[in-house]
Amino acid sequence: MKKTKAFLCSLSAAALLFTGCSDDSVYTAHKEITEITLSWWGNDARHAYTIEAIERFQELHPEIKVNCSYSEWSGYEARNRVRMASGTESDINQINVGWLKQFSPDGKGYYDIDELSEYVDLSSFPESILEYGKVNGILNAVPIAMNAQTVFINKTVYEEHGLSVPETWDDIFEAAKVLRKDDIYAISASAKSVWLYAIAYTEQNTGKSILDDEGKLNFNSADLKTMIEFYRKLVKEKAMPQVEYYERLNINTGEYAGTIAWVSDAVNYCGAAQKNGFEMVAADYTADTPDRCGEGWYAKPATLYAVSKHTKHPKEAAMLLDFLLNSKDMAVLQGVEKGIPLSSTARETLDEKGMLSGLQYDASLVMDNNKLIKHMDPILENTDILDEYINACNLVLYNKAPINDAAEELYQKYQKLF
């Protein structure tokens, strides 16, 4: 055990560096060894199980050595930008879906994985899923799992106050009238989740999508006013804390009786509350009426794997990619930490092992079973767009500007950002 801990510590210390001498093939003990590289981001748990998986891959393929580079999310995107610009990215990279448009606008920024189908079993993925990783018809990346904003509700707190799990927007505000008497918020969210929650409300309220078919802004200033007014109502009626005062730990104690978060964050956000004895459930998407559940809500790949177009060893990279996506070893080690795997092979393995259960799995089923949820355009996660929305809301909350003026100013700024 001490040796294992020491090994992991030494790897963590070198987390931002590749081990090994080069990407070229080298010879040791009369055996040709091909070195390839792999990069990912995540927490310590992800680092540990990925490292263990790579060790198993190397046992199966002693002719391949995998050099790893990994870190927390912070800084990973900036380093990836530099590496993509200089052509020094890893042979296999965990990527964000937004990077496809950023680094491969013509579909030629990454290796065409269809050309590696001899070594990567793509039959485990429905064509509709592979479309998420295509640019101009070229398969740039393979999604690992899908993600969507989800409403997680503390059913224990709601029922203690005589309330049912909310389904509609009115349910949220009616619950707030009861819960705020005990200084409990009916729902809570970080800034991005509030932004996407407000989009869902406004799309249902106006019958318009925020983006047109070309991905341009489809909302006018009146629609943005609806978004601002919705957030103001949530805060003023104490249904939701202001995003600046959002404290995730309050979910653990029941002070927040609900939260909006990604499917993949189910355990991170709600696990402690479950350990504290609260029953947390993945509710249906909030809607005007049950038949509109999912309208205005969006799903996206949680993360994807891409192969560098500069790789000198596409075959070996493809073999590792297949292992990461489809192998039983990786499926069991990873579990549902990155979401419910999209690979039918990996999912079948988890089902056989009884590992498809729990809050995250429930949230995934809410997403998978909804027919109205739409594909998310990466622009909806643009930080500048999100920040401008929160700034406009604060102008109204703090009486710095009339809501019509704030909405018009936001609209003018969005003309440049979208």
CA gap 69, 47 in Å, rounded:
10
Predicted pLDDT of residue 271: 95
Q: What is the pTM of this model?
A: 0.84
* Residue carrying the six token digits 């459930």: 281
Instruction: State the CATH class of domain 9-146+301-362.
Output: alpha beta
Interior CA angle at 125 toward 269 and 365, to 5°?
35
- Tell me the torsion sign for CA atoms 228, 230, 235, 240: negative
What's the pLDDT at 337? 87
Give the side-chain half-sphere CA count within 13 A for 342: 27
The answer to whether the Cα torsion of 43, 48, 52, 54 is positive or negative is: positive
The structure tokens listed for 43 are: 């927490």
Contact between 54 and 38 under an 8 Å Cβ cutoff? The reply is yes
Q: Which residues make beta-bridge pairs with 66? A: 36
Number of CB atoms found within 10 A of residue 86's CB = 9
Highest CATH level, class, for 147-299+368-417: alpha beta
The C-alpha atoms of residue 296 and residue 198 are separated, in whole angstroms, by 9
- Give the span between the Cα atoms of 301 and 101, in whole angstroms: 14
Rounded Cα distance between 392 and 76, Å, is 30
Which tokens is 371 given? 């027919």
**Rounded Cα distance, 409 and 322, in Å:** 49
Under 8 Å CB-to-CB from 86, ≥6 apart: which residues? none
Task: Dump strand ranges (E) for 129-195.
Answer: 134-135, 138-139, 141-154
CATH 3.40.190.10 residue ranges for the chain = 9-146+301-362, 147-299+368-417
Token look-up 């909310």 returns 166
Q: Which helix (H) or strand (E) holds 189?
A: none
Chunked into runs of 10 residues, the chain (418 residues) has average pLDDT values of 40 40 43 93 93 98 97 88 95 95 95 98 95 96 97 98 98 98 98 98 97 95 98 98 97 98 93 98 97 96 96 98 98 92 97 94 94 94 95 98 98 96
Q: Quote the pLDDT of residue 23.
A: 38
**The pLDDT value given to residue 14:** 39
- DSSP state, residue 408: H
